Structure 1
């Protein structure tokens, strides 16, 4: 157990150094919140806590959004975890979990560990923090705030609520994830209603 804690502490330090100033909403504090969410869910699920926490810490390493649209997750995660002398079996499990987290990839989680990390990541995409991250990411990619006459995919940051954020509540895997998501979903609905009241004549 002590060895696992030491590994997780090393990973946390590496993630903090690497992602602290990342500006798209996928910064260190996002990853830290995903870990916190995962621990909340873990308290109510029978799962491998070490695998869940490790996968949560590394889930954004190599993400396509941070690497010019090219996904480098598996190779970068593998390289980093090998540097920590982790067993190949653990590295393979972590890569499997991470490959099932992303909304855009559309992969269904095949283990309770993947379900937990997927829920934990998606919870940080909704609610007040999710709203802030949506507009931060949109701004970082040059997307406009709102386009009243274009509802095509990725047309604006507001459109992203309909492309993804409003869908996440119904895609949660765990009871804890569903309960938290419901509250955050309502907050987003109220925000969008207020937004429209301010921008529409």
Structure 2
């Protein structure tokens, strides 16, 4: 099986797993992350393994513990799938290391994992899809799917969160999510191109928040 056949199989596997997602992590999100990861990889001074970057971009949400009931089972299934399409043991380990460690919640742990360059590219691509115009839409969509409050000026954004606290949606509002995560992502970008793209999207979110709060108070 050649690389193009492997990537086609990965794409089909991901589409099957994610096509029914209703939280903003569906196959449309996956396709944008893949496209952005390819863009970032093309603009890096160091070369990366195309198979690893694109596969990890496709598969990055497959075993996410906020999306699946049994992450360990999903990860085990992923390993078997990659083996079935002739990924080597080293390639499987590289892909899983990325998919297992790129989420924002991992950065809240005491010893955040260190990603390979391929992992940093995929992480930037995923984070870029969480900010800007698309990021605003996805934040509202995700919050609605989990019955979050849109905004309450009396509830202040949480600081210095642990992973457990961050995942507790009972203490979050959709607007506070911008301050607790989304506005932090610009400064967490790994790649030069990622930083450049994030800057414009950051400004769009800040403008949105200013307008939102003005309209909330009836001042716009």
Global fold match (TM > 0.5): yes
**Bucket of the pairwise TM-score, normalised by the shorter protein:** over 0.9
Query: Which stretch shows the higher mean deviation, 44-53 or 71-80?
Result: 71-80
Matched, 1:187 2:204: yes
Tell me the C-alpha RMSD between the 2 structures.
Answer: 1.6
| Structure 2 gaps, min length 5 | 159-168
**In the alignment, is the contact (CA less than 8 A) between 1:47 and 1:112 conserved in 2?**
yes
| Contact 1:61/1:76 (8 A) holds in 2 | no
Query: In terms of mean alpha carbon deviation, does 176-185 or 92-101 score higher?
Result: 92-101
**2:161 aligned partner:** none
Shift, 1:143, TM fit: 0.9
Among candidates 121, 127, 138, match of residue 126 of structure 2: 121
Partner of 1:178: 195
| Pairing 1:139–2:140 present | no
Quick one: distance in 1 between partners of 2:83 and 2:10? Answer: 12
TM-score by length of 1: 0.93
> Residue deviations 1:110-169, cap 9 Å, x none?
311111011010000000000001011111111111111112544201000000000000
Which segments of 5 or more consecutive residues in structure 1 lack a partner in the other structure?
none
Residue 77 of structure 1 aligns to a residue whose secondary structure is: helix
Distance (whole Å) between structure 1 residues aligned to residue 77 and residue 208 of structure 2: 37
How much has 1:100 moved relative to structure 2? 2.6
How do residues 40-55 of structure 1 correspond to structure 2 at under 5 angstroms? 40-45=39-44, 46-55=47-56
Partner of 2:76, secondary structure, is helix
Q: Report the counterpart of residue 92 of structure 1 in structure 2.
A: 93
Q: Does the aligned pair in 2 maintain the 1:62–1:76 contact within 8 Å? A: no
More contact order relative to length (CA 8 Å, sep ≥ 6): 2
